[in-house]
Amino acid sequence: FPVLVYIHGGYWQCLSKDESGFAAPPLVSQGVAVVAVGYDTAPKGHMDAMVLQVRRSVAFLVERYSGIRGIYLCGHSAGAHLAAMVLSTDWTEYGVVPDIKGAVLVSGVYDLEPILHTYVNDALNMSREVAQRNSPMLCISPAVPAAAACEVLVAVAQHDSPEFRRQSQEYGQALRAAGWSVSLLDLAGVDHFDIIEKLSEDSYVLTQV
């Protein structure tokens, strides 16, 4: 069975896996297992630790369930950032090589440096070094054959802020330049929140994709 791993948003400081089941019904009805992943949000969690926890959760899934036929990552906002960091993982350190067939990155943040100068960093307390080390834009590896087979969908909402839209565009282009298979999806009539909330609907374009 294929597995969709959902990573929640909330600016790395709110929400949890407990609120992340809304996307499950349409997918489970089609034979897809849905796994909601949690991580220690700030101020308890540090950015390095959050990235490590999400990577470990994917490795755990592979070790625990031998019947998985392809892992698909889906993250929203901060969760899209964490999903993008999973794509840049050196799996030799984890003793497994997950078969990541796709990633749906929704309204994500791919360059953390602009956040250093905002209130969001009050809880995160990131230094410039931490922000750079955990910025997917700066961690893109050339696509190895396995990565080339992974389809990445970078989705953004019409009413997302200009910064979200800019980062989505630039990250998608950078991945493509490195040999990844990337599609950009600009969704009309939605904002930063309902772009993901509508995944509970069977007929919603992102659910279908």
**Active-site residue numbers?**
77, 160, 192
Q: What is the DSSP letter of 111?
A: -
Residue indicated by tokens 């369930």? 65
Would you say how long the chain is, in residues?
A: 209
7 and 184 Cβ atoms separated by less than 8 Å: no
Which residues make Cβ contacts (< 8 Å) with residue 202, sequence separation at least 6?
Answer: 26, 29
Element (H, E) at 48: helix 47-64
- C-alpha to C-alpha distances, 204 to 10, 56, 72, 165, nearest whole angstrom: 22, 31, 18, 21
Between vectors from CA 109 to CA 105 and to CA 110, what angle results, nearest 5°? 90
